[in-house]
A and B are shown apart, each in its own frame.
Chain A
Amino acid sequence: MTILLILTVLALIAIAIWQITKIFELSQPKKIKTQVADDDDNRWNGQLMFAFLIFLYAITLYSFWKWGDLLLPSASSEHGLEYDNLMWISFAIIFFTQTITQALLHYFAYKYRGEKGKKALFYADNDRLEAIWTIIPVIVLAGLILYGLYTWTDIMTVEENEDALLVELYAQQFNWKARYAGEDGVLGDANVRFLQDFDGKNIVGIDATDPNGFDDVVVQELHLPTGREVIFKMRSQDVLHSAYMPHFRAQMNCVPGMITEFAFTPTVTTEDMRQTDDMKAKVKKINSIRRENSQELIAKGEEALEPYVFDYLLLCNKICGASHYNMQMKIVIETPEEFEKWMMDQQTFAEVIQ
């Protein structure tokens, strides 16, 4: 119903525009002698330029007030804090520049609107000015580049070590699987050629001739302990996918025929995250939206939506086919003890293929 209403309104707006154009057209020969802007046009368009500047500031402020809480959900990984820091510095620079340059642009467009008989200033060049606005960006960017590269190297340098937890993320149209290296800490060799072995029970294609693979554990829900570095090895069996874990500021493509990697250290358990004020507020907001939507569904005789509970997410973020929009895996961050306990309950590859 609302759709119909909105479409009707839009249709009416379209008709209104159509009518306005006709009115303009009819009134044209009498009033307008020229199609070149005259003083009147310059005046009201100049004023609108100024109004537009206010509009720009207004939507910026409004958006931050209304949607500011959406920006960068709080980080749950060690490098995430560093990431956020760099992000907010860049943001500050962007806002400063945006505010000033848009002001100058639109204010000049208003202030220097044309009038008959006025003459513009003949001012073609100024090397000093050019130098100023070349050098200032150079300095600012040099800072950003250095800081950015320092952080980048820090995040992307993945060094295998004994303490780290080794996890393979395995992507296929349209779901995720995770494989843990097991007690030996080594992932067994794997290839898509082995996927059909053992009546399809070998769901990530582990090479059964490699002894390292027998204690590997394959799961459909990713569990990770806090406080321990996790090294991800990504694989894909069919097309490109991208493992995107926004709360951990982590993303890496999964490429068929190649193993990619990324590493981070989770810091906040799922349970703790659910208890934060921000998250409580968000979940409350989402659930009130869901209740509203449920009422519509119930009226149509369909089932109500389940209430939402927060969980960390792994999303696919590289176009991969029809169900790309629904290719997800739940991530559970827990204390090391909980994690060990969970791990004990899982079947190893050797157990699965028996």
Chain B
Amino acid sequence: MSTAVQINEEEDHGHHHKETFITKYVFSQDHKMISKQYLITGLFMGIIGIAMSLLMRLQLAWPEQPMGAMSALLGKWAPDGVMDPNVYLALVTIHGTIMVFFVLTAGLSGTFSNLLIPLQIGARDMASGLLNMISYWLFFISSVIMISSLFVEAGPAAAGWTIYPPLSALPQAQPGSGLGMTLWLVSMAIFIASSLLGSLNYIVTVINLRTKGMTMSRLPLTIWAFLITAVIGVVSFPVLLSAALLLIMDRSFGTSFFLSDIFIQGEVLHYQGGSPVLYEHLFWFLGHPEVYIVLLPALGITSEIISTNSRKPIFGYRAMVASILAIAFLSTIVWGHHMFISGMNPFLGSVFTFTTLLIAIPSAVKAFNYITTLWKGNLQLNPAMLFSIGLVSTFISGGLTGIILGDSTLDINVHDTYFVVAHFHLVMGISALYGLFAGVYHWFPKMFKRMMNKNLGYLHFWVTAICAYGVFFPMHFIGMAGLPRRYYTNTAFPYFDDLANINVVITVFALIAGAVQLVFLYNFIHSIFYGKPTEQNPWRSNTLEWTAPIKHFHGNWEGKIPEVYRWAYDYSKPGYEEDFVPQNIPFKEGEEELQH
């Protein structure tokens, strides 16, 4: 550690090497450029993922009705403008995969971990720029493979984003389990490699490259969140990789890890002795921590933005760190709550109910701390702040229904219904997307040297906020009515006929929500080129990234890296004229550091 710090302390000599177009914009090793690459790739994937959800919503609201939009977008997969059932399942699968992994893992964590870790801890770059570059390009390759699977003759993977075997293992079971599934598995294997390289780099950087004075207890909460997220990723992603590899073996080399006693298409298959439940365990050992891999960075971003824009210290810094650690630990021992009715021993169900409901405690602590941070603040309601408040709102609304789903008894009847869809979309989907938007609005000046348009940001937030509840609130009701998720249509059950108009309401909200994202996209692209040039520290923030020059260069700071004397949350501290005191300002005489 001491050598690393020394390197950091040296003045910036070696970093002004000549850069060509290729090394600057394509194979860049500069964390700032890599973060932009992640963001733009993530947004591109997000457009595809959201468009898919809109197609699903159209199908659910007006099943069996010919629609021009369907034939235009799906071609031969929507003969006469009516979507094919296999295509619906493919959309369910790829929407989930893209949103969870490509947008909210790589797009969110990749963007902001890369941008903020070196800048906020006071480092010239990531510990290994090369690994960082490789991590991005692996992500890029896996995105290309995932997208290319959409153009396979028999269609992409369609077994749900959880790809439970045997459905995902047997091409006889559904057309998507042929080449489409192979591409899915290859894409995800590469994605996991990318994620691991990124995570190791984040961990090493945070541990070793902090500037002088940046003790762990002075780290901004963003960095705590990114660090712990990376740790969870390193612990759990390899398990998914092993599940994917075993599945590949079952599919291609005749092994029976997950398969046994199968009769399909008039034929008894040779598989003996495997168990799909084993796959479920392996999958959810990543699958559940993945929720927090998605959510923790969003919460970290929110902590930073709420504190800055409240002009108040984040309330309960120590409790915030402790709850991140508690959530991270608990997240690795709750995976079984996805499997209460999988055929697993009911006793295990009891254990997982216990650990799962415990997660509500650190989550509640976080929510109350955010609310208390607002109390008696001087709230600057910038678009980023609105999205952060919105995040707290959906985090609470979605999190609370977790009390029902995490309870093995109650899960029996709402498992895999729209109640679950409503729950996880609010608590991790919408919340994490809000975190992503908040981060983009807040750090856009740092990334692109210009400001985004605030009025378009307000329009974006308010329409999105109303539609998000408009879409997911009614879903709780159709879930409690007993409607299963992943149904192509519910017209096969006259019993559910009275849910049809709710489905129309949901779809209308979804379409408006989709449309308003175009405002964001427009604002984003337009501001990159024509936005108002930013000031040095537009939000008057304490963290170190705002001390770095606006103009980007590899190495972040001219001359010496600033030294840190205090935590990141000295907002409105008594004894100071300004309502913020950046981390690199030494203590005045007689001033005391908070005992946090």
Interface residues of A (CB under 8 A from B): 3, 6-7, 10, 13-14, 17-18, 20-21, 24-25, 28, 32, 34-37, 41-42, 45-46, 48-49, 52, 55-56, 59-60, 63, 67, 70-73, 83, 86-87, 90-91, 93-94, 97-98, 101-102, 104-106, 108-109, 112-115, 118-126, 129-130, 133-134, 137-138, 141, 144-145, 148-149, 151-153, 155-157, 172-173, 191-193, 195-196, 205, 234, 237-240, 242, 244, 246-247, 249-253, 255-258, 260, 282, 285-286, 289-290, 305, 308, 310-311, 313, 315-326, 328
Contact = CB atoms under 8 A, between A and B. Distances in A.
Contacts of B235: none
In this complex, which of B354, B364, B409 has the most chain A Cβ atoms within 10 angstroms of its Cβ? B409
A71 to B, nearest CB: 4
A26 to B, nearest CB: 12
Contacts of B486: 319, 324-325
B368 interface: yes
B317 to A, nearest CB: 7
A192 B166 contact: no
A97 B400 contact: yes
A308 B353 contact: no
Given A42-B381, A60-B473, A151-B409, A315 B493 contact: yes
A250 B340 CA distance: 12
B492 A325 contact: yes
Interface of B: 62, 65, 67-69, 85-86, 89, 92, 159-160, 164-167, 170, 173-174, 259-264, 266, 268, 271, 273-277, 310-319, 341-343, 346, 349-350, 353-354, 357-358, 360-361, 364-365, 367-372, 374-382, 385-386, 389, 392-393, 396-397, 400-401, 403-404, 407-410, 412-413, 415-417, 451-456, 458-459, 462, 465-466, 469-470, 473-474, 477-478, 480-482, 484, 486-490, 492-495, 497-500, 502, 508, 511-512, 515-516, 518-519, 522-523, 526, 531-532, 538-539, 569, 571-574, 579, 594, 596
Contacts, number: 414
19 contacts: A14-B518, A21-B523, A35-B454, A36-B454, A42-B381, A52-B462, A72-B413, A97-B396, A108-B377, A124-B596, A125-B318, A141-B358, A141-B361, A144-B403, A157-B346, A237-B262, A257-B275, A308-B495, A320-B167
Nearest to B314: A124
B396 A124 contact: no
Contacts of B69: 7
A109 B381 contact: yes
Contact of B515 (A14, A118, A313, A319): A14
In this complex, which of B85, B451, B484 has the most chain A Cβ atoms within 10 angstroms of its Cβ? B484
Contact of B497 (A60, A134, A308, A325): A308
B426 to A, nearest CB: 11
A71 B174 contact: no
A86 B482 CA distance: 17
Given A130-B369, A145-B357, 13 more contacts: A35-B451, A86-B410, A94-B404, A105-B374, A114-B311, A124-B316, A148-B410, A149-B354, A149-B408, A191-B261, A195-B263, A253-B341, A321-B174
A7 to B, nearest CB: 7
Contact of B361 (A46, A73, A138): A138
B85 A322 contact: yes
Given A71-B481, A258-B260, A319-B160, A134 B377 contact: no
B275 A152 contact: no
A41 B379 CA distance: 11
In this complex, which of A3, A253, A282 has the most chain B Cβ atoms within 10 angstroms of its Cβ? A253
Which label, helix, strand, loop or mixed, suits the secondary structure of the A interface? helix
A286 B121 CA distance: 61
A73 B396 contact: no
B374 A109 contact: yes
A100 B594 CA distance: 31
A52 B465 contact: yes
B432 to A, nearest CB: 18
Contacts of B494: 286, 290, 305, 308
Contacts of A256: 166, 259-262, 276
A310 B67 CA distance: 32
Nearest to B168: A239
A49 B390 CA distance: 10
B310 A120 contact: yes
Contacts of B413: 72, 83, 246, 249-251
B264 A258 contact: no
Contacts of B377: 108, 112, 114, 120-121
Contact of B594 (A125, A151, A286, A310): A125
A211 to B, nearest CB: 22
A113 B397 CA distance: 23
Contacts of A93: 403
Given A120-B377, A145-B357, A325 B489 contact: yes
B10 to A, nearest CB: 35
Given A152-B349, A289-B500, A319-B167, A37 B343 contact: no
A121 B312 contact: yes
A289 B176 CA distance: 35
Contacts of A35: 451-454, 531-532, 538
A36 B455 CA distance: 10
Contact of A152 (B350, B466, B500): B350
Given A104-B371, A124-B594, A21 B484 contact: no
Contacts of A42: 379-381
B515 A13 contact: yes
A63 B474 contact: yes
A182 B315 CA distance: 67
A105 B360 contact: no
B255 to A, nearest CB: 14
A41 B261 contact: no
A109 B379 contact: yes
A334 to B, nearest CB: 19
B455 A125 contact: no
Contact of A122 (B271, B346, B571, B596): B571
B454 A141 contact: no
Contacts of A97: 396, 400
A234 B381 CA distance: 55
Nearest to A285: B498
B62 to A, nearest CB: 6
A119 B572 contact: yes
Contacts of A56: 393, 469
Contacts of B358: 141
A112 B378 contact: yes
Contacts of A138: 361
A325 B313 contact: no
A173 B149 CA distance: 25
A102 to B, nearest CB: 6
Given A256-B166, A256-B261, A322 B174 contact: yes
A286 B498 CA distance: 6
A98 B400 contact: yes
A148 B353 contact: yes
Lowest 6 CB-CB distances: which A-B pairs, in order? A257-B260, A246-B482, A156-B346, A35-B451, A260-B343, A192-B263
B410 A122 contact: no
Contacts of B386: 45
Contacts of B493: 313, 315, 328
B87 to A, nearest CB: 10
Given A144-B403, A246-B413, A192 B469 contact: no
B367 to A, nearest CB: 6
A125 B569 CA distance: 12
A310 B498 CA distance: 13
Contact of A101 (B371, B415, B511): B371
Nearest to A172: B263
Contacts of A83: 409-410, 412-413
B481 A70 contact: yes
A124 B266 CA distance: 68
